[in-house]
Amino acid sequence: MDYYSSEDRAADAHRINRSELPSAKKAAYLNERVIRAQMRRGRNAVDLSLIKWRIIRRAYRYISERPVPAKYYADLYPLLGYRSCALCLQGFDRYSEAYGSIDDGSTRCQFCSLAAIDRCTRPGSTFVQIEGLLHSPAYVYTVPESKLKDANERLGGLIDTMIKNLMSLRS
């Protein structure tokens, strides 16, 4: 039985997505309903997006301690979704108010403050690079370990860049 169909992966995914987060309450910040409720109460979309990316960074640091971190990237990938990003949700809402329904998901970006720095849907953006690294775990078995280490370090740097970009929106 390989890792991807083993009970070890299920247990690791549970630890990554639950107990290794700063608190059980923080995990709720990856839920669209909770994010929307927080925004209705006046929470800043940038601050809520920062919470999301700090949770991702914490999960990344946890998997970085594993023997071959790239094997766990598939467990991080679901954390990237736009429904857990307050800036994306805010962009959807603002676009819908201005123009009605959204034809293309990237149209929400015109209402996103992060897009002025690094538009997530642009080819080569920080987000697209993170998504690319996390979306292709199959390469783990086809490349030398040194390249996997480089990819893992690159992923950490990209996550830090995303957080720095969001932090710059606070000032």
Q: Tell me the one-letter amino acid at 91.
A: G
> What are the tokens at 44?
């800043």
Q: Average pLDDT of the chain?
A: 80
Tens of pLDDT, residue by residue over 66-121, are: 777 777 787 788 888 888 999 999 998 998 888 887 766 677 788 899 999 999 98
* pLDDT bracket for residue 1 (50, 70, 90): very low
How many folded domains does the chain comprise? 1
Sign for the CA dihedral angle at 90, 91, 95, 96 comes to negative
> In this structure, what DSSP letter does residue 111 have?
G
Q: Taking the model in full, what pTM does it have?
A: 0.79
Cα–Cα dist 81/30, whole Å? 9
Contact, 113 vs 87, CB < 8 A?
Answer: yes
Non-local CB neighbours of 117 within 8 Å, separated by 6+ positions: 165, 168, 169
- Token duo for residue 35: 């994010």
With cut-offs at 50, 70 and 90, classify the pLDDT of residue 10: low
Answer whether 30's CB lies under 8 Å from 85's CB.
no
Residue-range definition of the domain harbouring residue 146: 3-168
